[in-house]
Structure 1
Amino acid sequence: MTAKQLPIQRVLIVGSPGAGKSTLAKKLATRTGLPLIHLDELYWNPGWIKVEPAVWQQRLAEALAAERWILDGNFSTTLRERALRADLVVFLMPPRLLCLWRAFWRERLNLRPHARQDGAKWPSRALLLDIWQFPPQAQQQRQELTQLPNLKVVVLRSDAEIGAWLAQQSIATDHNT
Protein backbone atom coordinates (compact mmCIF):
# COMPACT_ATOMS: atom_id res chain seq x y z
CA MET A 1 0.00 0.00 0.00
CA THR A 2 1.37 3.39 -0.94
CA ALA A 3 1.42 6.22 1.55
CA LYS A 4 -1.39 8.01 -0.31
CA GLN A 5 -3.64 4.97 -0.63
CA LEU A 6 -6.23 4.88 2.13
CA PRO A 7 -7.15 1.49 3.58
CA ILE A 8 -10.66 0.20 3.22
CA GLN A 9 -12.28 0.57 6.61
CA ARG A 10 -16.05 0.40 5.91
CA VAL A 11 -17.55 -2.39 3.79
CA LEU A 12 -21.18 -3.06 2.86
CA ILE A 13 -22.13 -6.59 1.82
CA VAL A 14 -25.50 -6.86 0.11
CA GLY A 15 -27.25 -9.65 -1.76
CA SER A 16 -30.34 -11.75 -2.06
CA PRO A 17 -31.39 -13.97 0.84
CA GLY A 18 -29.31 -17.11 0.44
CA ALA A 19 -26.53 -15.33 -1.47
CA GLY A 20 -23.94 -15.85 1.26
CA LYS A 21 -23.77 -12.36 2.79
CA SER A 22 -23.27 -13.49 6.36
CA THR A 23 -20.75 -16.14 5.38
CA LEU A 24 -18.63 -13.66 3.42
CA ALA A 25 -18.99 -11.01 6.11
CA LYS A 26 -17.70 -13.41 8.79
CA LYS A 27 -14.76 -14.51 6.65
CA LEU A 28 -13.85 -10.92 5.75
CA ALA A 29 -14.11 -9.83 9.38
CA THR A 30 -11.83 -12.67 10.45
CA ARG A 31 -9.32 -11.84 7.74
CA THR A 32 -9.27 -8.08 8.28
CA GLY A 33 -10.17 -7.55 11.91
CA LEU A 34 -12.91 -5.12 10.91
CA PRO A 35 -15.87 -5.20 13.32
CA LEU A 36 -18.88 -7.07 11.91
CA ILE A 37 -22.40 -5.70 12.26
CA HIS A 38 -25.40 -7.68 11.00
CA LEU A 39 -28.17 -5.25 10.07
CA ASP A 40 -30.76 -7.83 11.14
CA GLU A 41 -29.49 -7.43 14.70
CA LEU A 42 -30.13 -3.67 14.52
CA TYR A 43 -33.54 -3.94 12.85
CA TRP A 44 -35.08 -6.76 14.89
CA ASN A 45 -35.58 -7.29 18.59
CA PRO A 46 -35.39 -10.82 20.00
CA GLY A 47 -38.08 -13.06 18.53
CA TRP A 48 -37.80 -11.19 15.22
CA ILE A 49 -40.00 -8.36 16.38
CA LYS A 50 -39.39 -5.16 14.41
CA VAL A 51 -37.97 -2.29 16.39
CA GLU A 52 -39.67 1.09 16.28
CA PRO A 53 -38.53 3.15 13.25
CA ALA A 54 -36.81 5.71 15.50
CA VAL A 55 -34.89 2.93 17.27
CA TRP A 56 -33.83 1.44 13.90
CA GLN A 57 -32.60 4.83 12.69
CA GLN A 58 -30.71 5.44 15.95
CA ARG A 59 -29.05 2.02 15.88
CA LEU A 60 -28.10 2.46 12.23
CA ALA A 61 -26.73 5.97 12.84
CA GLU A 62 -24.57 4.68 15.70
CA ALA A 63 -23.23 1.85 13.56
CA LEU A 64 -22.46 4.16 10.65
CA ALA A 65 -20.69 6.65 12.93
CA ALA A 66 -17.99 4.10 13.75
CA GLU A 67 -14.72 4.49 11.87
CA ARG A 68 -14.41 0.81 10.94
CA TRP A 69 -17.02 -1.82 10.11
CA ILE A 70 -18.46 -4.47 7.86
CA LEU A 71 -22.24 -4.14 7.51
CA ASP A 72 -24.05 -7.25 6.31
CA GLY A 73 -27.60 -6.92 5.01
CA ASN A 74 -29.89 -5.42 2.40
CA PHE A 75 -32.45 -2.95 3.75
CA SER A 76 -32.63 -1.14 0.43
CA THR A 77 -34.30 1.93 1.96
CA THR A 78 -31.03 2.75 3.75
CA LEU A 79 -28.55 1.58 1.11
CA ARG A 80 -27.63 5.05 -0.13
CA GLU A 81 -27.21 6.34 3.42
CA ARG A 82 -24.89 3.43 4.21
CA ALA A 83 -23.04 3.72 0.89
CA LEU A 84 -22.28 7.39 1.49
CA ARG A 85 -20.28 6.33 4.54
CA ALA A 86 -18.71 3.19 3.00
CA ASP A 87 -15.46 2.67 1.14
CA LEU A 88 -16.62 -0.50 -0.61
CA VAL A 89 -19.92 -2.16 -1.52
CA VAL A 90 -19.87 -5.86 -2.38
CA PHE A 91 -22.93 -7.11 -4.28
CA LEU A 92 -23.36 -10.88 -4.10
CA MET A 93 -25.27 -11.98 -7.20
CA PRO A 94 -25.34 -15.79 -7.40
CA PRO A 95 -28.09 -17.41 -9.49
CA ARG A 96 -31.61 -17.13 -8.07
CA LEU A 97 -32.08 -20.89 -7.91
CA LEU A 98 -28.95 -21.25 -5.79
CA CYS A 99 -30.25 -18.57 -3.40
CA LEU A 100 -33.61 -20.37 -3.20
CA TRP A 101 -31.84 -23.67 -2.53
CA ARG A 102 -29.68 -22.19 0.22
CA ALA A 103 -32.60 -20.40 1.85
CA PHE A 104 -34.59 -23.64 1.77
CA TRP A 105 -31.80 -25.67 3.39
CA ARG A 106 -31.05 -22.97 5.94
CA GLU A 107 -34.68 -23.23 7.01
CA ARG A 108 -34.87 -27.02 6.69
CA LEU A 109 -31.80 -27.47 8.88
CA ASN A 110 -33.22 -24.89 11.30
CA LEU A 111 -30.04 -22.82 11.13
CA ARG A 112 -31.98 -19.68 12.04
CA PRO A 113 -34.66 -20.88 14.46
CA HIS A 114 -35.02 -17.36 15.88
CA ALA A 115 -36.14 -16.13 12.45
CA ARG A 116 -39.55 -17.76 12.65
CA GLN A 117 -42.34 -15.54 13.83
CA ASP A 118 -45.43 -17.06 15.35
CA GLY A 119 -44.95 -20.43 13.69
CA ALA A 120 -44.66 -18.97 10.19
CA LYS A 121 -44.14 -21.60 7.50
CA TRP A 122 -41.40 -21.59 4.93
CA PRO A 123 -41.23 -20.53 2.24
CA SER A 124 -42.82 -17.23 2.99
CA ARG A 125 -44.09 -15.25 0.05
CA ALA A 126 -41.97 -12.28 1.17
CA LEU A 127 -38.77 -14.35 1.18
CA LEU A 128 -39.48 -15.79 -2.27
CA LEU A 129 -40.21 -12.31 -3.61
CA ASP A 130 -37.03 -10.93 -2.06
CA ILE A 131 -34.96 -13.62 -3.75
CA TRP A 132 -36.73 -13.31 -7.10
CA GLN A 133 -36.75 -9.51 -7.23
CA PHE A 134 -33.21 -8.92 -6.00
CA PRO A 135 -31.31 -9.08 -9.33
CA PRO A 136 -33.21 -6.29 -11.11
CA GLN A 137 -33.34 -4.19 -7.95
CA ALA A 138 -29.60 -4.65 -7.42
CA GLN A 139 -28.86 -3.66 -11.02
CA GLN A 140 -30.50 -0.29 -10.46
CA GLN A 141 -28.83 0.13 -7.07
CA ARG A 142 -25.38 -0.63 -8.51
CA GLN A 143 -25.87 1.94 -11.25
CA GLU A 144 -26.79 4.59 -8.67
CA LEU A 145 -23.92 3.71 -6.33
CA THR A 146 -21.26 3.79 -9.05
CA GLN A 147 -22.01 7.52 -9.34
CA LEU A 148 -20.92 8.17 -5.75
CA PRO A 149 -17.38 9.52 -5.42
CA ASN A 150 -14.75 7.47 -3.61
CA LEU A 151 -16.91 4.36 -3.46
CA LYS A 152 -15.71 1.11 -4.92
CA VAL A 153 -18.43 -1.32 -6.08
CA VAL A 154 -17.66 -5.02 -6.60
CA VAL A 155 -20.04 -7.63 -8.03
CA LEU A 156 -19.44 -11.31 -7.28
CA ARG A 157 -21.59 -13.89 -9.06
CA SER A 158 -20.43 -17.27 -7.76
CA ASP A 159 -18.76 -18.99 -4.82
CA ALA A 160 -15.61 -19.25 -6.95
CA GLU A 161 -15.60 -15.48 -7.57
CA ILE A 162 -16.23 -14.82 -3.88
CA GLY A 163 -13.35 -17.10 -2.87
CA ALA A 164 -10.96 -15.58 -5.40
CA TRP A 165 -11.89 -12.04 -4.38
CA LEU A 166 -11.48 -12.82 -0.69
CA ALA A 167 -8.10 -14.46 -1.31
CA GLN A 168 -6.73 -11.39 -3.07
CA GLN A 169 -7.83 -8.88 -0.45
CA SER A 170 -5.08 -7.09 1.35
CA ILE A 171 -7.35 -4.77 3.25
CA ALA A 172 -5.28 -2.87 5.76
CA THR A 173 -7.10 -2.43 9.03
CA ASP A 174 -4.55 -0.36 10.87
CA HIS A 175 -6.60 2.80 11.29
CA ASN A 176 -3.47 4.73 12.23
CA THR A 177 -2.07 4.56 8.68
Structure 2
Amino acid sequence: MLSADDPLPFRPERILIAGVSGSGKTTLAARIGAAWDLRHIEIDALFHGPEWTPRPTFLDDVRTFAAEERWITEWQYTSKGTDEILPPRADLALWLDYPYRVVRSRLIRRTLARGVLRRELWNGNREKGPWNMLNRDPEENILAWQTKTLRHWAERMPGIEERFPHLTIVRLRHPREAERWMRAQA
Protein backbone atom coordinates (compact mmCIF):
# COMPACT_ATOMS: atom_id res chain seq x y z
CA MET A 1 0.00 0.00 0.00
CA LEU A 2 1.36 3.41 -0.96
CA SER A 3 1.08 6.71 0.90
CA ALA A 4 0.57 10.22 -0.42
CA ASP A 5 4.34 10.66 -0.69
CA ASP A 6 5.09 7.51 -2.67
CA PRO A 7 5.42 7.97 -6.43
CA LEU A 8 3.10 5.96 -8.64
CA PRO A 9 4.99 3.33 -10.62
CA PHE A 10 2.79 3.94 -13.70
CA ARG A 11 0.09 6.26 -15.09
CA PRO A 12 -3.23 4.61 -14.15
CA GLU A 13 -6.06 4.29 -16.64
CA ARG A 14 -8.80 2.70 -14.52
CA ILE A 15 -9.23 4.14 -11.03
CA LEU A 16 -11.46 3.36 -8.07
CA ILE A 17 -11.94 5.79 -5.21
CA ALA A 18 -12.87 4.19 -1.90
CA GLY A 19 -14.00 5.89 1.29
CA VAL A 20 -16.88 6.33 3.67
CA SER A 21 -19.87 8.48 2.69
CA GLY A 22 -18.88 12.13 2.83
CA SER A 23 -15.17 11.57 2.23
CA GLY A 24 -15.23 13.27 -1.15
CA LYS A 25 -15.01 10.31 -3.53
CA THR A 26 -17.13 11.88 -6.27
CA THR A 27 -15.45 15.27 -6.05
CA LEU A 28 -11.97 13.75 -6.26
CA ALA A 29 -13.02 11.41 -9.08
CA ALA A 30 -14.30 14.37 -11.11
CA ARG A 31 -11.07 16.31 -10.52
CA ILE A 32 -8.81 13.42 -11.48
CA GLY A 33 -10.98 12.54 -14.45
CA ALA A 34 -10.72 16.09 -15.79
CA ALA A 35 -6.98 16.34 -15.11
CA TRP A 36 -6.10 12.96 -16.67
CA ASP A 37 -8.79 12.86 -19.36
CA LEU A 38 -10.52 9.84 -17.83
CA ARG A 39 -14.23 9.27 -18.20
CA HIS A 40 -15.85 9.78 -14.78
CA ILE A 41 -18.80 7.49 -14.24
CA GLU A 42 -20.75 8.49 -11.15
CA ILE A 43 -21.77 5.09 -9.85
CA ASP A 44 -24.68 6.50 -7.79
CA ALA A 45 -26.30 7.61 -11.06
CA LEU A 46 -26.11 4.04 -12.33
CA PHE A 47 -27.52 2.53 -9.13
CA HIS A 48 -30.41 4.85 -8.25
CA GLY A 49 -33.48 4.82 -10.45
CA PRO A 50 -36.52 7.06 -9.98
CA GLU A 51 -37.92 7.16 -6.44
CA TRP A 52 -34.54 5.88 -5.16
CA THR A 53 -35.23 2.38 -6.47
CA PRO A 54 -32.24 0.30 -7.57
CA ARG A 55 -31.97 0.15 -11.34
CA PRO A 56 -32.29 -3.43 -12.65
CA THR A 57 -29.54 -2.77 -15.23
CA PHE A 58 -27.03 -1.58 -12.61
CA LEU A 59 -24.54 -4.45 -12.81
CA ASP A 60 -24.82 -4.64 -16.60
CA ASP A 61 -24.05 -0.90 -16.77
CA VAL A 62 -21.08 -1.40 -14.44
CA ARG A 63 -19.79 -4.26 -16.63
CA THR A 64 -20.13 -2.09 -19.73
CA PHE A 65 -18.07 0.84 -18.44
CA ALA A 66 -15.57 -1.44 -16.66
CA ALA A 67 -14.78 -3.03 -20.03
CA GLU A 68 -13.65 0.36 -21.33
CA GLU A 69 -9.95 1.19 -21.33
CA ARG A 70 -10.01 4.49 -19.37
CA TRP A 71 -12.32 5.44 -16.50
CA ILE A 72 -12.62 6.58 -12.92
CA THR A 73 -15.45 5.89 -10.50
CA GLU A 74 -16.38 5.67 -6.84
CA TRP A 75 -15.89 2.22 -5.27
CA GLN A 76 -19.33 1.57 -3.83
CA TYR A 77 -22.11 -1.02 -3.84
CA THR A 78 -19.65 -3.74 -2.97
CA SER A 79 -22.45 -5.84 -1.47
CA LYS A 80 -24.37 -5.50 -4.75
CA GLY A 81 -21.67 -7.24 -6.79
CA THR A 82 -19.31 -4.49 -7.93
CA ASP A 83 -16.30 -6.21 -6.32
CA GLU A 84 -16.54 -8.97 -8.91
CA ILE A 85 -16.41 -6.41 -11.74
CA LEU A 86 -14.43 -3.30 -10.83
CA PRO A 87 -11.28 -4.30 -8.88
CA PRO A 88 -10.22 -6.95 -11.42
CA ARG A 89 -10.24 -4.25 -14.13
CA ALA A 90 -8.90 -1.30 -12.09
CA ASP A 91 -5.21 -0.58 -11.81
CA LEU A 92 -5.33 2.02 -9.01
CA ALA A 93 -7.46 2.46 -5.90
CA LEU A 94 -7.33 5.67 -3.90
CA TRP A 95 -8.52 5.08 -0.35
CA LEU A 96 -9.76 8.24 1.35
CA ASP A 97 -9.23 7.21 4.96
CA TYR A 98 -9.94 10.57 6.56
CA PRO A 99 -10.57 11.36 10.25
CA TYR A 100 -14.13 11.08 11.51
CA ARG A 101 -14.46 14.82 12.20
CA VAL A 102 -13.56 15.57 8.55
CA VAL A 103 -15.98 13.11 6.95
CA ARG A 104 -18.76 13.89 9.43
CA SER A 105 -18.62 17.64 8.90
CA ARG A 106 -18.44 17.19 5.11
CA LEU A 107 -21.45 14.89 5.12
CA ILE A 108 -23.52 17.20 7.32
CA ARG A 109 -22.77 20.20 5.06
CA ARG A 110 -23.51 18.22 1.91
CA THR A 111 -26.73 16.74 3.26
CA LEU A 112 -28.00 20.09 4.53
CA ALA A 113 -27.16 21.85 1.25
CA ARG A 114 -28.82 19.16 -0.86
CA GLY A 115 -31.86 19.01 1.41
CA VAL A 116 -32.41 22.76 1.61
CA LEU A 117 -31.74 23.45 -2.08
CA ARG A 118 -33.67 20.35 -3.19
CA ARG A 119 -31.15 19.91 -5.98
CA GLU A 120 -31.74 16.92 -8.27
CA LEU A 121 -29.12 14.24 -7.75
CA TRP A 122 -29.74 11.25 -10.02
CA ASN A 123 -32.67 10.21 -12.19
CA GLY A 124 -35.09 12.70 -10.62
CA ASN A 125 -34.13 11.94 -7.01
CA ARG A 126 -33.57 14.63 -4.43
CA GLU A 127 -32.18 14.54 -0.90
CA LYS A 128 -35.07 13.88 1.46
CA GLY A 129 -34.48 17.02 3.49
CA PRO A 130 -32.57 18.01 6.59
CA TRP A 131 -35.23 16.60 8.94
CA ASN A 132 -34.35 13.13 7.65
CA MET A 133 -31.05 13.37 9.55
CA LEU A 134 -33.10 12.63 12.68
CA ASN A 135 -34.15 9.19 11.41
CA ARG A 136 -32.16 6.38 13.09
CA ASP A 137 -32.49 3.91 10.20
CA PRO A 138 -29.21 3.75 8.20
CA GLU A 139 -31.21 2.96 5.06
CA GLU A 140 -33.04 6.29 5.44
CA ASN A 141 -30.45 8.54 7.09
CA ILE A 142 -27.07 9.10 5.45
CA LEU A 143 -25.51 10.14 8.78
CA ALA A 144 -26.60 6.87 10.40
CA TRP A 145 -25.29 5.05 7.31
CA GLN A 146 -21.92 6.78 7.66
CA THR A 147 -21.72 5.76 11.32
CA LYS A 148 -22.64 2.15 10.47
CA THR A 149 -20.03 1.90 7.68
CA LEU A 150 -17.26 4.06 9.15
CA ARG A 151 -14.75 1.18 9.55
CA HIS A 152 -15.84 -0.68 6.38
CA TRP A 153 -12.74 0.08 4.30
CA ALA A 154 -10.24 -0.33 7.15
CA GLU A 155 -11.65 -3.81 7.73
CA ARG A 156 -11.69 -4.72 4.03
CA MET A 157 -8.39 -3.36 2.72
CA PRO A 158 -6.11 -6.17 3.97
CA GLY A 159 -8.29 -8.71 2.14
CA ILE A 160 -8.47 -6.51 -0.95
CA GLU A 161 -4.68 -6.30 -1.13
CA GLU A 162 -4.50 -10.08 -0.93
CA ARG A 163 -7.34 -10.74 -3.36
CA PHE A 164 -6.28 -8.19 -6.00
CA PRO A 165 -2.46 -8.09 -5.93
CA HIS A 166 -2.34 -6.22 -9.27
CA LEU A 167 -4.24 -3.27 -7.74
CA THR A 168 -2.04 -0.42 -6.56
CA ILE A 169 -3.63 1.14 -3.47
CA VAL A 170 -2.83 4.63 -2.24
CA ARG A 171 -4.05 5.43 1.27
CA LEU A 172 -4.76 9.13 1.80
CA ARG A 173 -5.35 9.96 5.48
CA HIS A 174 -6.40 13.60 5.22
CA PRO A 175 -7.62 15.99 2.51
CA ARG A 176 -4.22 17.73 2.74
CA GLU A 177 -2.58 14.45 1.76
CA ALA A 178 -4.96 14.12 -1.17
CA GLU A 179 -4.02 17.61 -2.33
CA ARG A 180 -0.32 16.83 -1.95
CA TRP A 181 -0.79 13.60 -3.89
CA MET A 182 -2.67 15.43 -6.66
CA ARG A 183 0.12 18.03 -6.99
CA ALA A 184 2.74 15.28 -7.20
CA GLN A 185 0.88 13.63 -10.08
CA ALA A 186 0.84 16.75 -12.27
Q: Which runs of 5+ in 1 are unaligned?
A: 171-177
Quickly say closer, same or farther: Cα 1:84–1:13, change in 2 above 3 A: same
Quickly say closer, same or farther: Cα 1:153–1:25, change in 2 above 3 A: same
SS at match of 1:24: helix
Aligned to 2:40: 36
Aligned to 2:119: 113
Percent sequence identity over aligned pairs: 26
SS at match of 2:15: strand
SS at match of 2:151: helix
The alignment yields a C-alpha RMSD, in angstroms, of 2.3
Shift of 1:117: 6.3
TM-score, scaled relative to structure 1:
0.81
Alignment of 1:39-58 (within 5 A): 39-52=43-56, 55-58=57-60
Q: Which runs of 5+ in 2 are unaligned?
A: 1-8
Alignment of 1:17-166 (within 5 A): 17-52=21-56, 55-77=57-79, 78-110=82-114, 113-114=119-120, 115-116=125-126, 121-123=131-133, 124=135, 125-126=137-138, 127-147=142-162, 148-166=164-182
SS at match of 1:109: helix
SS at match of 1:51: coil
Shift of 1:120: 8.2
With 18-27 and 123-132 compared, the bigger mean Cα shift is at 123-132
Shift of 1:49: 2.8
Alignment size in residue pairs: 164
SS at match of 1:89: strand
Q: Distance in 1 between matches of 2:118 and 2:16?
A: 22
